Amino acid sequence: MKKEKAVVVFSGGQDSTTCLFWAKQKFQEVEAVTFDYGQRHRLEIACAKNIAEELGVKQHILDMQLLNQLAPNALTREDMTVKAGADGELPNTFVPGRNLLFLSFAGVLASQIGARHIVTGVCETDFSGYPDCRDIFVKSLNVTLNLSMDQQFVIHTPLMWRNKAETWALADELGAFDFVREKTLTCYNGIIADGCGECPACKLRKRGLEQYLAIRNGQPE
C-alpha cells in the first residue's frame, strides 16, 4: 500500500490543532503549513511552532505578507478593532481570497513533498459569513487544484459541519481535549488557552466549550 501523506493548514488555533490530531491519526505522515501574513499577534506563529514541535510534526512557515499588503484588515492592523459584521455584512476580520491563497499554496507544497491529502479546519456551521469557508468553495478549489497540477489531491474538512461544541467533542475523541484547551490560541487579543473572554473568537470558543462540557458531564444544557 502506498504511504499516505497529508499537509495540514495549521495556525495554532483550536480548529487547526484539532485537525492536526485528526490527521495524525488518519495518515502515516503529516506535515503542517503555517502562513505568516503579519498577524497582529506574533505569538500566533510562536504558538503554532511550539505545538508542531511538541507533536513532532514538521512545519513549513510560509511568508504571506503580500496578503497584508493587498488587504489590510483587523487581524493584521493594530489600529483596527475587530468588529462583527452588521446585517449580513462580513466582519472586518475577513480577508478577501485568504483561504483561496492559503489552500492553493498548501497545494503547491503538497505537490512538492509528495502529499496527496490536504487538511483544513474551515467550517460552514459557525461561520461568520466568510464565503471561502463554505463547503462548495472548498470542493470547487479541490477540482481546480487537481486540474492545475494534474494531481489527485483530496482536501479534507473534518470540521465543516461541526459546531464549536462538536469540535471540542472531536478533540476529546482524539484524546486531545486538554492539549487543545491549554495550548492553542484562538483569541483576537493574543491570549493563549481560554483567552480574553471578550472578543468574538473567545466568545464562540467559550460557548462551545460550555455546551460540550455540559454534554460531557451528562447535564442538560
187 annotated as ligand-binding: yes
Q: Which of 103, 195, 205, 212 binds Zn ion (CB under 5 A)?
A: 195
Which lies closer to Zn ion via its Cβ, residue 113 or residue 193?
Answer: 193
Q: Is 157 annotated as a binding residue?
A: no
209 binds Zn ion (CB under 5 A): no
Q: In this chain, which stretch among 15-23, 39-47, 107-115, 183-191 interacts with Zn ion, using CB under 5 A?
A: 183-191
Sign of CA dihedral 46, 35, 212, 156: negative
Least distance in angstroms from the C-beta of 121 to Zn ion: 18
3-class secondary structure per residue, the chain: CCCCEEEEECCCCHHHHHHHHHHHHHCCEEEEEEEECCCCCCHHHHHHHHHHHHCCCEEEEEECHHHHHHCCCCCCCCCCCCCCCCCCCCCCCCCCCHHHHHHHHHHHHHHHHCCCEEECCCCCCCCCCCHHHCHHHHHHHHHHHHHHHCCCCEEECCCCCCCHHHHHHHHHHCCCHHHHHHHCCCCCCCCCCCCCCCCHHHHHHHHHHHHHHHHHCCCCC
User: Closest CB to Zn ion among 62 and 193?
Assistant: 193
Stretch that binds Zn ion, among 17-25, 51-59, 117-125, 186-194 (CB under 5 A): 186-194
Q: Does 143 bind Zn ion (CB under 5 A)?
A: no
Q: Which of 66, 196, 213, 214 binds Zn ion (CB under 5 A)?
A: 196
Q: How far is the CB of 197 from Zn ion (least distance, A)?
A: 6
Candidate residues 202, 205, 208, 209; the one interacting with Zn ion per rule CB under 5 A: 202
196 annotated ligand binder: yes
Choose the binding region for Zn ion from 11-19, 123-131, 150-158, 179-187 (rule: CB under 5 A): 179-187
Task: Decide whether 149 or 196 has the Cβ nearer to Zn ion.
Answer: 196
d(CA 33, CA 11): 8
What residues form the annotated binding site? 10-20, 187, 196, 199, 202
Chain contacts with Zn ion (rule: CB under 5 A): 187, 189, 195-196, 199, 202
